[in-house]
């Protein structure tokens, strides 16, 4: 027996799942799903067969091709803190089997929201977040990106609600006698059917259910959100340039394979900026900024349509193949659609983030490598800007070496060669050396992929706008703040870059003076507000505790939770701040997605 992934029980000698047919009865009262999953295997198999599960109750496993004859199974009593529970089936030349099961209210992928936790305050809401290894808490599966599956799904939901999925919508209908209800009532219920015909890794399985409406913003794009007109209108305005970005992506990387590129704006508890679910990207409402810069997150998720969704990292140890490529692709799209200045600011913010995360992992330099060893490490704990920004820097280094036209041709060939496949770093490097002969003599490929920290030939932005903002930030040590004329054209990204580069020695009085002049703590742009509050906490400025509390209770995006909670329990060095952080988390915890809860708990465990 040989595992294919340090985060999965999947065995390399077992056949791959090729298709899963799901029937899901969503029970909002119990925050559970009563479900069945019909599996189709690549080849007949006899003997043990392993699946990943987490917090699932397995009710029965049967053979649908033999009058639903029971199939022996066992669910491990020992729960691995990272991988969950191993489900072992004993197969006898089977190519398919049917699992009836129930999810738990503690499912790590699902967040069930009560009406007060939503925008419209009228109806409940539920959504999934399966990356990196949380699909196993929604359905049993070979939960590794090394295996790609197609699927169909029937969602049985309350009539007043609407379902969306990262799949093609087939129809909405009333329940019929042939539907499985698992002993539940069909009164006041409706069935939504979906199909995903293209094979995807399990982490890209996604659905959301709530009172939803939509606005059309392009020939391939609708923006979905809760049925709140102001929210929908703001989102439609923010993302009305999406079709231009899709066309630019096609020009750079080849045809768009997924037909639709719809967007769903989720409630504020969504833990990420965006999630690249094919056909239905999930977004945090914090990307709606009113100046179209939030569309850069959409550009990133769009870029995943080629790098990540078409070509996928084989395991999370090669995560940079998803995120480094996508960050590079995002910036090329932004440069073409929004201009070089926006792309340059993006690179500058990323450069600062990379340096901060390399410093964060100074006691575990393994996680500053592009190709790293994650045995015994939860991928949520390993998450950082390193695969994004160091991966971007590596690809930019190759572009600088061979020139952009040659690199563009290489990218198109790479995507065409490996689409709908899962690959590792070695596969990429072999392809690179075969298609750009001698590249290993110009660039130290081993240092870039297996070395720690930031290589000396990485590229720190040197544009005039970047240098000017960083210089202004450095001048704050002399008590100087930027003048009105210097910031007249600044948007959120400029302020974010400025705040991120303020010296650690800045005084609390300077922070207060900066805010008195420019009202940064009241910014509607959360990137600006959180960056400012982080620095206010770190320099002991308690006057902003009320704004910190308000922020941590109204959003659940980990990009904001991680720096603010870390600043409170580590950077300030103040015991009162630790008590404050613990109280905040105890009061806000239930508003956070389970993944975000785990991240905050890990911060507390490390620093308290």
As annotated, the active-site residues are 301, 388
- The residue assigned the tokens 């240098």 is 467
**Cα–Cα dist 213/366, whole Å:** 45
Neighbours of 557 (CB within 10 A): 22
Neighbours of 291 (CB within 10 A): 13
What is the secondary structure of 307-368 as a DSSP string? Answer: BTTTEEESSGGGTHHHHHHHHHHHHHHHHHHH-HHHHHHHHHHHHHHHHHHHHHTTT-GGGG
| Closest to 378 in 3D by CA, of 108, 82, 595 | 82
Instruction: Tokens for 483, please give them.
Output: 């003048």
- The residue assigned the tokens 């007043």 is 160
In the three-class reduction of DSSP (H, G, I as helix; E, B as strand; rest coil), residue 507 is classed as coil
- The residue assigned the tokens 């001698």 is 438
Sheet of 280-283: strand order equals 212-218, 221-226, 262-265, 280-283, 274-275
The C-alpha torsion from 179 through 184 and 188 to 194, rounded to 10°, is: -40
Identify whether 132 is preceded by a cis peptide bond (ω within 30 of 0): yes
Are 426 and 317 in contact by the 8 Å Cβ rule? The answer is no
Q: How far apart are the first and last CA of the chain?
A: 40
Neighbours of 433 (CB within 10 A): 13
**Cα–Cα dist 75/247, whole Å:** 48
**Cα–Cα dist 431/414, whole Å:** 8
Sheet of 162-165: strand order equals 110-113, 125-128, 207-210, 162-165
Alpha helices in 480-588 (DSSP H): 492-500, 508-518, 526-538, 545-554, 558-566, 575-588
CA gyration radius, the chain: 24
Q: Can you list the positions of beta strands (E) in 17-173? A: 17-27, 32-53, 57-63, 69-70, 73-75, 85-102, 110-113, 125-128, 149-158, 162-165, 168-173
Q: For residue 16, give the DSSP letter.
A: P
Instruction: Tokens for 591, please give them.
Output: 């508003």
Are 452 and 366 in contact by the 8 Å Cβ rule? The answer is yes
**Cα–Cα dist 306/320, whole Å:** 14
**Cα–Cα dist 293/491, whole Å:** 9
In the three-class reduction of DSSP (H, G, I as helix; E, B as strand; rest coil), residue 376 is classed as coil
Are 292 and 236 in contact by the 8 Å Cβ rule? The answer is no
- The residue assigned the tokens 């210097």 is 486
With residue 254 as reference, give the H or E element that holds it. none
Neighbours of 88 (CB within 10 A): 14
């Amino acid at each position: 027996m040989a595992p294919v992934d340090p985060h999965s029980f999947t065995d390399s000698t077992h056949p791959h799942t090729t298709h899963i047919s799901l029937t899901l009865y969503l029970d909002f009262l119990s925050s559970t799903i009563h479900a069945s999953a019909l599996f189709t295997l690549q080849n007949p198999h006899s003997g043990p067969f392993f699946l990943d599960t987490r917090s699932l109750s397995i009710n029965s496993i049967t053979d649908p091709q033999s009058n639903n004859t029971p199939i022996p199974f066992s669910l491990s009593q020992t729960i691995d803190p990272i991988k969950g529970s191993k489900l072992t089936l004993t197969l006898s030349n089977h190519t398919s089997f049917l699992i009836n099961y129930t999810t738990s209210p503690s499912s790590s992928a699902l967040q069930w929201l009560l009406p007060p936790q939503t925008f419209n305050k009228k109806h409940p809401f539920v959504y999934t977040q399966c990356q990196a290894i949380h699909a196993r808490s929604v359905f049993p599966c070979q939960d590794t990106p090394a295996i790609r599956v197609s699927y169909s799904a029937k969602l049985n939901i309350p009539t007043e609600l609407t379902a969306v999925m990262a799949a093609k919508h087939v129809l909405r209908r009333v329940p019929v006698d042939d539907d499985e209800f698992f002993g539940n009532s069909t009164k006041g219920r409706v069935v939504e059917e979906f199909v995903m015909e293209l094979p995807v890794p399990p982490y890209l399985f996604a659905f959301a259910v709530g009172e939803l409406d939509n606005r059309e913003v392009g020939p391939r794009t609708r923006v979905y959100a809760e049925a709140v007109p102001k929210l929908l209108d703001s989102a439609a305005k923010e993302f009305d340039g999406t079709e231009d970005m899709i066309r630019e992506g096609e020009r750079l990387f080849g045809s768009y394979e997924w037909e639709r590129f719809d967007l769903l704006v989720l409630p504020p508890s969504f833990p990420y900026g965006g999630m690249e679910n094919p056909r239905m990207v999930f977004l945090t409402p914090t990307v709606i900024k009113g100046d179209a810069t939030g569309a850069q997150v959409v550009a990133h998720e769009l870029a995943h349509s080629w790098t990540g969704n078409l070509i996928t990292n084989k395991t999370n140890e090669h995560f940079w193949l998803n995120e480094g490529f996508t960050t590079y692709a995002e910036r090329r799209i932004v440069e073409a659609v929004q201009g070089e200045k926006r792309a340059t600011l993006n690179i500058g913010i990323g450069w600062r983030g990379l340096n901060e995360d390399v410093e964060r992992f100074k006691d575990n330099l393994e996680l500053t490598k592009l190709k790293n060893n994650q045995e015994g490490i939860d991928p949520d704990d390993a998450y950082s800007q390193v695969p994004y920004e160091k991966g971007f820097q590596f690809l930019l280094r190759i572009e600088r070496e061979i020139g952009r036209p040659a690199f563009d041709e290489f990218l198109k060939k790479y995507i065409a060669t490996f689409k709908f496949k899962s690959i590792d770093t070695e596969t990429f490097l072999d392809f690179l050396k075969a298609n750009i002969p001698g590249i290993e003599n110009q660039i130290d490929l081993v240092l870039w992929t297996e070395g720690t920290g930031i290589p000396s030939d990485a590229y720190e932005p040197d544009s005039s706008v970047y240098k000017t903002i960083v210089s202004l930030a450095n001048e704050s040590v002399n008590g100087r703040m930027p003048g009105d004329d210097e910031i007249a054209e600044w948007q959120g990204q400029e302020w974010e870059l400025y705040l991120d580069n303020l010296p650690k020695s800045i005084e609390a009085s300077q922070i207060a003076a900066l805010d008195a002049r420019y009202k940064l703590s009241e910014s509607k742009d959360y990137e600006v507000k959180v960056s400012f509050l982080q620095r206010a906490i770190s320099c002991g400025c308690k006057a902003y505790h009320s704004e910190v509390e308000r922020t941590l209770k109204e959003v659940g995006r980990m990009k904001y939770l991680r720096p603010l909670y870390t600043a409170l329990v580590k950077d300030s060095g103040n015991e009162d701040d630790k008590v404050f952080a613990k109280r905040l988390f105890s009061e806000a915890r239930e508003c956070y997605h389970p993944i975000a809860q785990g991240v905050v708990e890990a911060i507390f465990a490390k620093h308290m």
